C-alpha cells in the first residue's frame, strides 16, 4: 500500500487539471516543469508531489474534469 496524498496536494492538482486540461502528459518531468511555471509553489517537495499526482491521474485515465 502507498501513502495517502494530503487534501491540499489533491486540491492544487485538480484545480490545475481543470484550468489546463490539454497540456498534461504522462511524463513526470514535463509535468514538474509545467507545475513550476503555472504556480508559485516554492517547495520542491510539494511541486513534485503535485506533479506526481497529476501524472498518475493522466496515466491511469482518471482525469474526469
Residues 30-51 have a mean pLDDT of 96
Q: Is the pLDDT of residue 65 over 60?
A: no
Q: Map out the domains of the chain as residue ranges.
A: 7-60
pLDDT of residue 20: 94
* Nearest residue to 3 via CA among 41, 45, 49: 49
pTM over 0.75: yes
Q: Which residues contact 52 (CB under 8 A, 6 or more apart)?
A: 28, 31
Residues 40-61 have a mean pLDDT of 94
Q: Which fold has domain 7-60?
A: Diphtheria Toxin Repressor; domain 2 (1.10.60)
Over residues 17-35, the pLDDT tens digits come to 999 999 999 999 999 999 9
Angstrom distances, CA of residue 16 to CA of 1, 2:
26, 23
Amino acid at each position: 500500500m502507498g501513502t495517502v496524498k494530503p487534501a491540499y496536494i489533491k486540491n492544487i492538482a485538480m484545480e490545475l487539471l481543470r484550468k489546463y486540461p490539454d497540456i498534461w502528459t504522462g511524463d513526470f518531468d514535463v509535468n514538474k516543469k509545467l507545475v513550476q511555471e503555472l504556480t508559485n509553489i516554492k517547495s520542491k517537495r510539494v511541486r513534485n508531489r503535485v506533479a506526481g499526482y497529476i501524472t498518475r491521474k493522466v496515466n491511469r485515465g482518471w482525469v474526469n474534469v
